[in-house]
Amino acid sequence: MKQQINSDIKAHLVRSMLIALLLLAVCVTPFASAQRTYRGKPDAGLNGSRTQSRVAIPTCRLFINEGFDDINNLPGWVQINHSQPLGANSWFQGNDGVFAAFDGLPDAYIGANFYSGGGDATISNWLLTPEVGLQDGNTLTFYTRTVELSAFPDRLQVRMSTNGASTNVGTLATDVGDFTNLLLDINPTYAMGGYPEAWTQFTITISGVPTGTSGRLAFRYFVEDGGPGGTRSNYIGIDRVQYCGTPAPRGIPTPRPQPTPVIRPTP
């Protein structure tokens, strides 16, 4: 009789363990599936995240914060193409079939390519920011890239004019007009792989400008021996341009509105 009871207890324990294992499997399977889905494709980071977490929240006052969601709606921005010979394209909405934007929608960036020029051209395709105050310590931050394994080197300059709202970039492909201050030159030697092939951040700090100066900053897609008939120039994108001013002061409490006193008649 004792042996029979022990057998029943053992059988009950075995059944309990099997049920527990089945319940554990049911709980773990969805969790594991969710983990695989969350990780996504291994190369997802190369084309930029679609979340705002990729863009750091600046600690300064933003005068420009442009993500190029719609390049036909860029108040204050100016596009000038002085390539020689002139090509069929200027700046255009990003093509996510080539690569996706750094952030926002897949085509939310501004692009330029070898069709900025015609034949064997000197490409000089300008994108000017709105007029801004220029002060030492202010920063310009942006992201740019070209296609992977490009066989046609690209180049981009960032220039500054301290002449207020001027849009004078000269008339020839080699002219710079009022934009004589060269702040950055990406791949000036046209090295293969010298232009970043994944979204890369660049930051420029303004310096050497007198107090009270205003002007414009300019992106210049500048490629010699470019165009459809040249040996250089392919396709570039620019995204998330931010121009930051002096950091806001800290430790100053925000004033709170005081309630308006209510005057009640004396009974």
**Domain 48-247 CATH (choose: 2.60.120.200, 2.40.100.10, 3.10.180.10, 3.50.30.30):** 2.60.120.200
* Phi, then psi, of 205 in degrees rounded to 5: -105, 125
Question: What is the reported pLDDT for 247?
Answer: 56
Per-residue pLDDT of the chain (267 residues; tens, 9 = 90+): 434 434 454 445 445 554 454 444 433 333 332 222 222 222 333 333 233 335 656 678 999 999 999 999 999 999 999 999 999 999 999 999 999 999 999 999 999 999 999 999 999 999 999 999 999 999 999 999 999 999 999 999 999 999 999 999 999 999 999 999 999 999 999 999 999 999 999 999 999 999 999 999 999 999 999 999 999 999 999 999 999 997 544 443 433 444 444 444 444
The candidate with the shortest Cα–Cα distance to 116, out of 217, 228, 218, 196, is 228
Q: How many residues does the chain have?
A: 267
pLDDT at 43: 30
Give pLDDT, residue 111.
Answer: 98
* Residue-level pLDDT at 120: 98
Contact 172, 84 (CB under 8 A): yes
Tell me if 125 sits within 8 A of 220, measured CB to CB: yes
Between CA 55 and CA 169, with CA 183 as vertex, the angle to 5 degrees is 110
Beta strands 213-226; 156-161: pairing state? antiparallel
Spatial neighbors of 226 by CB under 8 A, at least 6 apart, are 83, 114, 116, 117, 120, 121, 122, 123, 152, 232, 233
* Domain residue extents for the chain: 1-39, 48-247
Strand, coil or helix: what is 177? coil
Query: Which residue has tokens 């080197």?
Result: 153
As a whole number of angstroms, the distance between CA 250 and CA 232 comes to 49
How high is the pLDDT of residue 60? 87
The answer to whether the CB of 200 falls within 8 A of the CB of 83 is no
| Amino acid identity, position 243 | Y
Task: Name the β-bridge partners of 221.
Answer: 125
Query: Where on the phi/psi map is residue 52: left (φ > 0), alpha (ψ -120 to 50), or beta?
Result: alpha
Alpha-carbon distances of 169 from 46, 101, 181, 238, 251, rounded to whole Å? 34, 28, 12, 20, 43
- Give helix then strand counts, H and E, for the chain: 1, 13
Residue 266 confidence (pLDDT) = 44
Token code pair at residue 62: 């933003």
Handedness of CA 119, 180, 142, 191 (dihedral sign): positive
Rounded to the nearest 5 percent, the helix, strand and coil shares of the chain are 20, 35, 50
Would you give the DSSP letter of residue 107? T
